[in-house]
Amino acid sequence: MLSNQEKLRFSRQTMLKNIGEQGQQALKKASVLIIGVGGLGNPASLYLNAAGVGNIYLADGDNIELSNLPRQILFTETDIGQNKADTSAEKLQQLNSATNIEVLDEMLDAELADYYLPLVDLVLDCTDNINSRYLINQKCIEHKKPLIIGAATGFDGQHMFVNPNIADSACYQCLFPAHKKPPENNCQTIGILGPVLAIIGGMQALQAIKFLTGHAVATNQLNIFDGLHNSWQQFTLKKQANCPICSG
């Protein structure tokens, strides 16, 4: 049951017929792993923490730099040089002290993924490099953990949902086979505008809340945002019969 304080705090959410107190209780019981607490992980973690997700795991081995501040909105000038996951946890606890937050202040590798994924209900990939996305996708398939992938560069962003518990759900490697690896474009190579990250990170949080409260989230769908022209496009994906990750 929700406490009186929780009922007051989350009243604007529980009055939604698609959430209600039952949905809020589901959020309270949920565990989410956010990998990468930078431009995408900042807004995603803020919104999931504020929404009442009870257990949040933050994984990031990077330290905060001056060039992060225009888009990584959890951080301030006094945080420069500090670990992103540690600092994010401190800020998030100030927003919602009831959330159980666990920090992994290093980059997620295969061994760490094998340890942490069984502990969570959902994974958010908020990283900014291709190799990490391949690893996270592979481990989520192995452990049957639903995955929300986000990416953004320049004025553009994208997100997709992978659910290994649905037989025909395409995975990241179905979209980008390893032998056709996309170019390594990220914020450091072509730049980024902060609000684009807020939009994609916010969409990751929205999809997460929908999933955790029992609502359908579309698989086999790549959602692409064009911030320069303020438009969305959706592309239908298909699980690849020869995918070495999800069709074994």
Catalytic residues: 187
> H/E/C letters for each residue in 85-144?
HHHHHHHHHHHCCCCEEEEECCCCCHHHHHHHHHHCCEEEECCCCHHHHHHHHHHHHHHC
Distance, in Å, from the CA atom of 240 to the CA atom of 21, rounded to the nearest integer, reads: 40
Distance, in Å, from the CA atom of 177 to the CA atom of 7, rounded to the nearest integer, reads: 46
Angle of CA points 195, 197, 203, to nearest 5°: 105
- Contact predicate 30/53, CB 8 Å: yes
Total residue count of the chain as it appears in this document: 248
